[in-house]
Structure 1
């Protein structure tokens, strides 16, 4: 990929990608390319769909608000598989949740699952908005895969599902360190931590493994990012 193409706009598209194929752009993407990036017809852009790698293409317009990409070359093949990094997180206030989503995508998270615990203050999320943030972060950080956003679950649901899960637990002598382990999924608790009842269950249930993020007490979004970084160690 030459340097000029590497600096070209990069967009997520939903259509399939293969040579000599035209992919329709959403109206907001046409607006972005035409009015924000000031691209003329015939300009090169890059597109990806999370399945077929990354492709170069030529931007074309069929009307003021509609357009498409005429695909040319495959620039990067789709990776076969990424290491599992599944983050279970408790919803946060808007700006802090925005930060968590953006940075977790940049750090390679493969799935995100919001969890309601007894001490969770924010009880609802805007899933559509979060999905848009995930895609925008993937566009920006050059990722080829799109992390999955799962439906919100409760702590009680995790007890029933019994999926193996590391749980970040502060001030816990039984907690293991993340580096050197093979945890692919981790739960980060809410501001103020888990309730006493939940802590007892975390230590009791065999599918939960308490882990330590270090000696400091982090804010929830910082704890999530610290955990994702340590999972790569």
Structure 2
């Protein structure tokens, strides 16, 4: 059944009025007919079997809770601000791959595009529907790199391009990741020399590589998150 996100409380065996945009999408884009069954989630209450009971007025009936809401986790992606399209793709991929918190980070080489949180929220919701996850990552306000380092709860695994040039994977093997740790992906062009020095001397930073080649930001997000979860401590 089709998974759809809705921004309202959900409770088993109740009737709800669908949000206007969702009702329009269901009838005009997905072309659901009256009586069609699908599932709804809101990122908080679990997954609910749903029946479209009144197509003209956008009314649906919730059935049983099919899956309880999983406990929140704290994995984080620290993502340097970059060009809008690349940043959008990176946010989508981070959502689909299971990251719980996304921290946009300001660096010396960041692209100063204004973050449009409404668009990014939509991207996150659509990605969660696509991969059928019940939790939505929290998109935090952008912050300077120094602030991100100071406020991080766990280790930050920095995808350092110099490690790639050394043809090693860095410190992945000797530093297993935990659910309180994060991954840091820099901007196109990398960090400045000052920022690199700051990162290399910081107690929370673990330098890791993503392979022999220099990757685009959105590609690095996919590879980095995959490695991050591969090395998750049992």
TM-score w.r.t. the length of structure 2 is: 0.86
Unaligned runs of 5+ in 2: none
Report whether the alignment pairs 1:72 with 2:67: no
- Of 84, 93, 97 in structure 1, the residue corresponding to residue 83 of structure 2 is 93
CA 1:44–1:175: 2 relative to 1, 3 Å:
closer
CA distance in 1, matches of 2:204, 2:66: 42
Q: 1:48 aligns with which of 34, 41, 59?
A: 41
Does the alignment pair 1:218 with 2:215? yes
Q: Secondary structure at the match of 2:50?
A: strand
The match for 1:127 is 117
Contact map agreement 1:119 1:193 (CA 8 A) in 2: yes
Contact 1:177/1:213, CA 8 A, preserved across alignment? no
Q: Secondary structure at the match of 1:121?
A: coil
Tell me if structure 1 keeps the 8 A contact 2:79–2:104. Answer: yes
Provide the residue aligned with 1:230 in structure 2: 227
- SS of 2:162 mapped into structure 1: coil
In structure 2, the residue matched to 1:152 is 142
Equivalent residue number for residue 206 of structure 1:
203
CA RMSD of aligned residues (A): 2.2
Unaligned runs of 5+ in 1: 1-5
CA displacement, residues 87-134 of structure 1 (integer Å, 9 cap, x when unaligned): 010123232222212221111111111001001123421111101110
Between stretches 120-129 and 177-186, larger displacement belongs to 177-186
| Structure 1 partner of 2:156 | 165
Q: Are the structure 2 counterparts of residues 165 and 203 from structure 1 closer, same or farther at C-alpha, using a change threshold of 3 Å?
A: same
SS in 2 for 1:151: coil
* Segments ≥4 residues shifted beyond 4 Å: 172-175
Question: How many aligned residue pairs are there?
Answer: 223
